[in-house]
Structure 1
Amino acid sequence: MAERVRFRSSTGPMLTGLIDLPQGEVRGWGVFAHGFTLGKDSPAAARICRQLASEGIGMLRFDNLGLGDSEGDWGDGSFTVKVADTVEAAAFMAERGTPARLLVGHSWGGCAVLAAAGRVEGVRAVATVGAPSDPSHAEHQYDAFVDRVLADGSAQWLVGGIKALTLKRAFVEDVRRAQLLDVIPALHRPLLVMHSPTDATVGIENASEIFSLARHPRSFVSLEGSDHLLTAPGQARRAARIVSAWADPYLGD
């Protein structure tokens, strides 16, 4: 069971999300950050959050700027805005009386929760799934358009042949400036890094770098057999069960 919600983004437009409500005994609450252009209904986001909810952990997953049901222009999003909107999502959860103790991020969303955690009061644990160690890794997805964007200010990008997004110069420059080298060692929260050794989109070396930069308590779990998007049956649910067990000591009041 999910509750549809809306809250204001850090830049003004309204963002739309779903709160997968916890079943049975409520163990805690969290926020999920989706991948680069994926959205709240992507397999990783939906299946992980539903599984966590089935185990008593309520999760807010939401569409970032200009994606899915959210307002705004994706090209105005950038990494800085994605991080700020993750903070806004956690603030929304606190305002409704269900403060997020857990942040979970998939792919680029993993970078976002690492950067956002230090700005969210009450967050006690962070988990990443298939996250790059450098946010600028995302440029690989649109590198064919970068020169045109930097020269003309913007360009249309057809994602997967079906979704048209506007890539803007400020977006590209913001992503290039973003880095986690100082953020990860200063996280001061338990960190779970999950990654598949056969991830063909974000290589396993990214998990190694995140883990090596992190301070204890830190944990690493190999999601062997999983693809980057966790699309095969059971992959996302397996990741969620691991998060659920690992996060248990950090959820209660």
Structure 2
Amino acid sequence: MPREKITFPTAAGHELVGTLELPAGRVKGAAVFAHCFTCSQNSKGATYLTRALARRGIATLRFDFTGLGGSEGDFGDSGFAGDVVDVEAAAREMAKRYETKVLLVGHSLGGAAVLAATARLDCVYGVATINAPSDVPHALERIEGDLEAIARDGKGEVAIGGRPFTISAHFVDDTREADLAAKLDALRVPLMVLHSPTDRIVGIEHAKAIFERAHHPKSFVGLEGADHLMTDEADADFASEMIAGWAARFMPKDPVAHPENGVIVRTGNGKWGTEVVTGHHVLTADEPRSYGGEDLGPTPYDLLLAGLGTCTAMTMKFYAEREGLPFHGVEVRLTHDRDHAKDCDHCEDEPRVQAIHRTLRFDGDLPQEVVDKLAEVADKCPVHRTLEGDLHIHTELSE
């Protein structure tokens, strides 16, 4: 996916580092993703989920919380309140960048952080949580160390997820005292709760508690078979598809200027990503990865062949129905040959002749005379005639 590295300040005065995952074409909406406890923006789950949201048109910022990954500050002293402040900073950064309200998505403890942050933000239109705990102190169960000694001595060494950290008594106290229930009572934006019933780290009862406490509108999606960290890309893709479809009902609309005739093509994000707007539809064109693209849409020549192929199929079906001929469907396969001259027996003086090869396969058994007639009709479809006609392309500059 096209992406951009960005930094932004927090209210505490230090910089956070993030990655902005961008759609190849038009940006339909903006989102902030908060990663799981002690993970980073580059964890599998964070990467899979944000890229999947971007594929669906939502520019999504994932970032490292204070003191993690490339972000400045002291993780061991910031506590849960620090995560909430970080989410607020990220949300304001995206709202400012895109001049619109944003979606907050939080994974595990990041889910609790986005729930807590939303009550203090006026730039959020919706929240989605993935495998999130319903009480913040639950996170302390994942810490291996003597928390009582840390409370007595002010700080100490612990292990979280097998990684060493130094945390402060403030970190422990802040996590113990966080009241997520009060934040849920104050939540007044649409909520989607996604949770795996087989999550062994944060049980499904947490999702039930969040969902029951929250106000409507709210939705629930079960992530059957997914692990807590969302390390399977297929699970992340499913979750992102659910979030994007749900969010589309609530996100601020970005009206698309559809042309009355013809098409409008606009450059998008990444190296080749391009948006195509017709009278009623929007699609993305791209190039394969072998050409430096992201393979997020058909190539220009794919679209050219598709235009001829669809016109061919439509014309034959129309003719068969009009003439009362038997017709059960057709498959049209097309390829483009950039250097046809070497295989051409009548174009020695035209070394750059190109060709389109078209193969027709009719469904069912048809009389040979019907097959021959439909093949003849295929050569008369409007796009075929345009491509083989005396075509002129006129280019002018708009004011």
Band the TM-score falls in, shorter-chain normalisation: over 0.9
Question: Alignment RMSD, CA only?
Answer: 1.3
Preserved CA contact (<8 Å) 2:145 2:157: no
Post-superposition CA distance 1:98-150 (Å, at most 9, x none): 54420000000000010111222221110000000001110001153212211
SS for the counterpart of 1:84 is helix
- 1:243 Cα shift? 0.5
Distance 2:11 2:171 in 1: 16
Amino acid at match of 1:91: R
Matched with 1:140 is: 141
**Which structure would you say has the larger Rg?**
2
Preserved CA contact (<8 Å) 1:181 1:213: yes
Amino acid at match of 1:214: A
Amino acid at match of 2:223: L
Distance 1:164 1:10, change over 3 A: farther
Distance 1:238 1:151 in 2: 46
Mapping 1:78-157, distance limit 5 Å = 78-142=79-143, 144-157=145-158
Matched with 1:198 is: 198
Matched with 2:18 is: 17
SS for the counterpart of 2:249 is helix
Distance 1:232 1:95 in 2: 33
Matched with 2:7 is: 6
- Unmatched 5+ stretches in structure 1: none
**Aligned residue pairs: how many?**
252
Matched with 2:207 is: 207
Distance 2:228 2:105 in 1: 15
SS for the counterpart of 2:38 is coil
29-38 or 112-121, which deviates more: 112-121
SS for the counterpart of 2:248 is helix
Distance 2:190 2:161 in 1: 35
- TM-score normalised according to structure 2 size: 0.61
Amino acid at match of 1:234: A
5-14 or 44-53, which deviates more: 5-14
92-101 or 18-27, which deviates more: 92-101
Mapping 1:52-91, distance limit 5 Å = 52-91=53-92
Residue 235 (str. 1) matches residue 235 (str. 2)? yes
Amino acid at match of 1:31: V
Could you list the structure 1 runs, at least 4 aligned residues long, displaced by more than 6 angstroms after superposition.
Answer: none
- Unmatched 5+ stretches in structure 2: 254-399
Distance 2:97 2:25 in 1: 20
- 1:152 Cα shift? 1.3
Residue 174 (str. 1) matches residue 174 (str. 2)? yes
Matched with 1:183 is: 183
SS for the counterpart of 1:52 is helix
Preserved CA contact (<8 Å) 2:196 2:228: yes
Amino acid at match of 2:217: P
Matched with 2:226 is: 226
238-247 or 22-31, which deviates more: 22-31
Distance 1:63 1:101 in 2: 18
Sequence identity percentage: 45
- TM-score normalised according to structure 1 size: 0.95
